[in-house]
């Protein structure tokens, strides 16, 4: 009798404990990447009573640093990363620090971003798997010590195992992979310029760190898709990598992997063909690496239309049939939905014709797939009539951010000099307006999905950007400087601007000769610094021409034969993002909305509501309706009828009613919340937490995590 009573008491204890505690134990909530929580203590009736529970100052910070981490909560402990990519553990109830792990041998900061973590356990304390720069680490979840049985003394060098000399590769990971049993499937980020590293997907044994399989995203001879490239393209073409994360069906062991563009992003004269498996969704057996099915969203990409976020594994009811599906959002603002098992499209898509390229050597693919049932979540073409009447006669500015150089022309005059004709218009020498821009439509924050209703919630950007091709000319009277300018245009101008004047998150490179000499500058370029990945693939000649150009050193001499070799490696064009198309005050050239939150019924393929996300208070005070703002970071949805999202450049975190889109609550964060929030319950109280790293869109950087709970 005593034994039965003890067993009953234990069961009651477990039930009560489960009701009082609820973790957030995977990136974006679960391996289906649903962004969903069944918690409802905080709900649409009481969300206005939220108060600050705690703030955690996570550590190192510098001018351009960010935090994009969607943290984990495991057994009441919150795990996250700071701007320097140090891993920490804190009490999820109080924010008190338990331990911190630093991957850096010195006090360096700003090593890119980390969007999330993996927790894995197999009879021990459990491991936190996370990436910092070129390494993947395994850290004991209880002690914060490296798990030295994993990889090489607790870490894996992500440059290794790609089939090329690893010292010449630049490979990092900023988004966690997906786990099936003891297998971790991991994607990577590589350069987007010529000479980029391979973007192949690898699977690792979580016990040992050994590679189990590799899937070549640029196929080798004999592999499916090899004929969609020029002969032996795999030897020289990089990219086609999975940087945005992936989703795992834990019942079937199928991992769904979205990929990005082949490199270079904007000129494909050296990669003619459809270019499988770039810009594709891959369904792969997680144990073997065998491809089950695939779908390519952009053929021969010339617009950096990477798949920006992990797909959502969903269950929907279409015309009375329950379907296990997978939904993928895109930068162009479209939603594609497939049967998870065989890749069959659930809603219709058509291959539509688009114009050819005018650039010599380029062969744009003649058609591209576009959904015809589910409406896009962002406008698809920027026409002259869409220039805001309030801004039409203000001066134009094409810049990475609001502090650029104003043009002499008005918005209308500048618009008339550019090409603007909707989606998939190949780059030209006038300048093509890409709308929605290079950061969406949808972006890396991805979409939330409510499994009870079949409704997807996704934020979108509506910012016009300009893409322009420049013919590279190597006939200068100073060939060293000229070749260096060509190297710069191909590898550096995307971020630092054609004129080296930098941008919102990228430093001005003019005047480097006052800070550096050749050796120190070349060392920094090779190794990388801050958010900049290194360029170990550049030869000594290429580095010397580049440093000569950046330092304005006209006295360097290099043999003609070596310079000609450098010239043969470069593309005939430098095709680069010139910047956002703004007015003189830094507002987008297109009429609002500039950022939106959308509810899409995936049972029917219909948009239910759309509301502006964020505002410029100075415009609201002048009588403008809410405009929305650019946004980075995704939403979560809860059983309490709520959507929580930060993301906006006005620095607020907000709660919306998921049925109507009504804004119910907002809170001004200490720095921009450019991350996806989480929610969990500890000791009977529900919390909402978001990382406040700032640093995007010209906003100040921060280092805090902020938690909210209901007032007592």
DSSP-assigned letter for residue 261: P
Nearest to 682 by CA among 242, 95, 222: 95
User: CA torsion sign, 468 to 474 to 477 to 479?
Assistant: positive
**pLDDT, mean over the chain:** 93
**Dist. CA 115–CA 628, nearest whole Å:** 24
**Dist. CA 117–CA 184, nearest whole Å:** 12
Nearest to 331 by CA among 444, 237, 238: 444
Mean pLDDT value of segment 532-558: 88
Mean pLDDT value of segment 557-564: 79
Q: Specify the length of the chain in residues.
A: 712
The answer to whether the beta carbons of residues 550 and 438 sit under 8 Å apart is no
The band of 85, judged by pLDDT with boundaries at 50, 70 and 90, is very high
List Cα–Cα distances, 487 to 269, 457, 473, 525, 562, in angstroms.
Answer: 17, 42, 12, 12, 14
Which SS3 state, helix, strand or coil, does residue 158 take?
coil
Mean pLDDT value of segment 658-668: 99
**Dist. CA 212–CA 288, nearest whole Å:** 8
The band of 471, judged by pLDDT with boundaries at 50, 70 and 90, is confident
CA 370 to chain centroid, in Å, comes to 22
Secondary structure, 3-state, 520-539: HHHHHHHHEECCEECCCCCC
Read off the tokens for 65.
């640093």
Mean pLDDT value of segment 302-306: 98
Beta bridge partners of 135: 132, 157
Mean pLDDT value of segment 516-529: 88
pLDDT in tens, 126-156: 999 999 999 999 999 999 999 999 999 999 9
In what order do the strands lie in the sheet containing 701-710?
A: 50-57, 701-710, 685-694, 678-682
pLDDT at position 402 over 60: yes
Mean pLDDT value of segment 39-57: 99
557 vs 317, more confident:
317
pLDDT at position 102 over 50: yes
The answer to whether the beta carbons of residues 81 and 117 sit under 8 Å apart is yes
Mean pLDDT value of segment 519-547: 87
Least confident range of 181-195, 240-254, 398-412, 687-701: 398-412
The answer to whether the beta carbons of residues 478 and 277 sit under 8 Å apart is no
Which SS3 state, helix, strand or coil, does residue 480 take?
helix
pLDDT value of residue 106? 44
pLDDT value of residue 108? 47
* H or E, element range at 11: helix 2-20
pLDDT value of residue 404? 67
pLDDT in tens, 330-373: 999 999 999 999 999 999 999 999 999 999 999 999 999 999 99
pLDDT value of residue 480? 82
293 vs 400, more confident:
293
The number of CA neighbours under 13 Å toward the Cβ of 510 is 7
Which SS3 state, helix, strand or coil, does residue 182 take?
coil
CA 453 to chain centroid, in Å, comes to 27
**Dist. CA 107–CA 61, nearest whole Å:** 11
* Domains in the chain with CATH codes: 473-570 (1.10.760.10)
> For a pLDDT cut of 90, what percent of the chain falls above it?
77
pLDDT value of residue 403? 62
**Dist. CA 676–CA 58, nearest whole Å:** 17
Nearest to 104 by CA among 112, 115, 96: 112
List Cα–Cα distances, 81 to 49, 550, 585, in angstroms.
Answer: 29, 34, 35
Q: Are strands 36-37 and 636-638 parallel, antiparallel or unpaired?
A: parallel
**Dist. CA 277–CA 237, nearest whole Å:** 12
* H or E, element range at 547: helix 540-550
The answer to whether the beta carbons of residues 527 and 167 sit under 8 Å apart is no
pLDDT at position 101 over 90: yes
pLDDT at position 710 over 90: yes
The answer to whether the beta carbons of residues 368 and 354 sit under 8 Å apart is yes
pLDDT value of residue 528? 84
pLDDT value of residue 18? 56
Q: Angle at CA 487, nearest 5°, toward 485 and 492? A: 90
pLDDT value of residue 4? 54
pLDDT at position 110 over 50: no
Query: Cis omega (within 30 of 0) on the bond before 642?
Result: no
pLDDT at position 123 over 80: no
pLDDT in tens, 327-341: 999 999 999 999 999
Beta bridge partners of 663: 656
561 vs 319, more confident:
319
pLDDT value of residue 575? 87
pLDDT in tens, 168-208: 999 999 999 999 999 999 999 999 988 899 999 999 999 99
246 vs 547, more confident:
246
pLDDT at position 14 over 50: no
């Amino acid at each position: 009798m005593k034994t039965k009573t003890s067993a009953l008491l234990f069961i009651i204890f477990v039930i009560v404990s489960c009701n009082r505690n609820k973790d957030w134990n995977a990136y974006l909530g679960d391996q289906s990447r649903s962004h969903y929580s069944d918690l409802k203590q905080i709900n649409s009736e009481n969300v206005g009573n939220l108060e600050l529970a705690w703030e955690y100052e996570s550590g190192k910070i510098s001018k351009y640093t960010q935090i994009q981490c969607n943290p984990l909560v495991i057994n009441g402990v919150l795990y996250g990363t700071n701007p320097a990519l140090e891993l920490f553990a804190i009490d999820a109830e109080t924010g008190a620090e338990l331990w911190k792990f630093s991957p850096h041998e010195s006090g360096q900061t700003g090593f890119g971003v980390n969007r999330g973590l993996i927790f894995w356990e197999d009879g021990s304390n459990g491991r936190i798997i996370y990436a910092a720069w070129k390494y993947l680490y395994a850290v004991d979840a209880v002690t914060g010590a490296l798990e030295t049985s994993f990889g090489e003394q607790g870490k894996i060098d992500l440059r290794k195992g790609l089939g090329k000399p690893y010292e010449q590769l630049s490979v990092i990971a900023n988004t966690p992979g997906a786990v099936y049993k003891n297998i971790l499937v991991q994607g990577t980020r590589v350069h987007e310029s010529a000479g980029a590293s391979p973007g192949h997907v690898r699977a690792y044994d979580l016990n040992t760190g050994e590679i189990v399989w590799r899937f070549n995203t640029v196929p080798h001879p004999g592999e499916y898709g090899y004929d969609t490239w020029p002969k032996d393209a795999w030897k020289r073409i990089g990219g086609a990598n999975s940087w945005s994360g992936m989703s795992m069906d834990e019942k079937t062991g199928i991992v769904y992997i979205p990929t990005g563009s082949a490199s270079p992003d904007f000129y494909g004269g050296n990669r003619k063909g459809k270019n499988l498996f770039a810009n594709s969704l891959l369904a792969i057996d997680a144990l073997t690496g065998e491809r089950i099915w695939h779908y390519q969203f952009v053929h021969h990409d010339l617009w950096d239309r990477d798949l920006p976020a992990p797909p959502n594994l969903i269950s929907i009811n279409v015309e009375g049939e329950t379907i296990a599906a997978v939904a993928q959002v895109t930068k162009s603002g479209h939603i594609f939905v497939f049967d998870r098992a065989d890749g069959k499209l659930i809603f219709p898509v058509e291959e539509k014709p688009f114009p050819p390229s005018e650039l010599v050597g380029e062969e744009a693919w003649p058609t591209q797939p576009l959904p015809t049932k589910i409406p896009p979540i962002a406008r698809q073409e920027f026409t002259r009539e869409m220039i805001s009447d309030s801004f039409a006669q203000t001066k134009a500015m094409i810049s990475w951010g609001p502090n650029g150089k104003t043009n002499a022309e008005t918005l209308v005059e500048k618009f008339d000099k550019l090409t603007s004709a909707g989606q998939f218009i190949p780059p030209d020498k006038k300048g093509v307006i890409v709308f929605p821009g290079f950061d969406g439509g949808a972006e890396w924050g991805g979409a939330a999905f409510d499994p009870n209703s079949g409704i997807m919630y996704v934020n979108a950007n509506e910012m016009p950007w300009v893409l322009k091709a420049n013919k590279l000319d190597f006939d200068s009277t100073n060939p060293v400087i000229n070749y260096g300018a060509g190297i710069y245009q191909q590898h550096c101008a995307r971020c630092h601007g054609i004129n080296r004047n930098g941008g919102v998150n990228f430093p001005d490179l003019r005047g480097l000769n006052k800070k550096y000499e050749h050796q120190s500058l070349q060392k920094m370029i090779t190794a990388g610094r801050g958010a900049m990945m290194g360029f170990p693939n550049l030869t000594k000649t290429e580095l010397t021409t580049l440093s000569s150009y950046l330092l304005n050193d006209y006295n360097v001499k290099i043999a003609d034969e070596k310079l000609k070799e450098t010239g043969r490696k470069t593309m005939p064009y430098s095709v680069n993002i010139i910047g956002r198309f703004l007015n003189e005050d830094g507002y987008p050239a297109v009429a609002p909305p500039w950022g939106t939150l959308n509810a899409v019924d995936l049972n029917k393929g219909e948009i239910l509501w759309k509301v502006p996300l964020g505002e410029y208070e100075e415009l609201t005070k002048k009588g403008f309706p809410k405009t929305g703002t650019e946004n980075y970071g995704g939403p979560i949805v809860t059983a309490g009828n709520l959507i929580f999202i930060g993301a906006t450049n006005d620095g607020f975190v907000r709660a919306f009613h998921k049925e109507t889109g009504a804004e119910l609550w907002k809170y001004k964060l200490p720095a921009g919340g450019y991350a996806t929030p989480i929610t969990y319950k500890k000791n009977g109280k529900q919390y909402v937490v978001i990382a406040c790293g700032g640093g995007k869109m010209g906003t100040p950087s921060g280092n805090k995590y902020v938690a909210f709970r209901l007032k007592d």
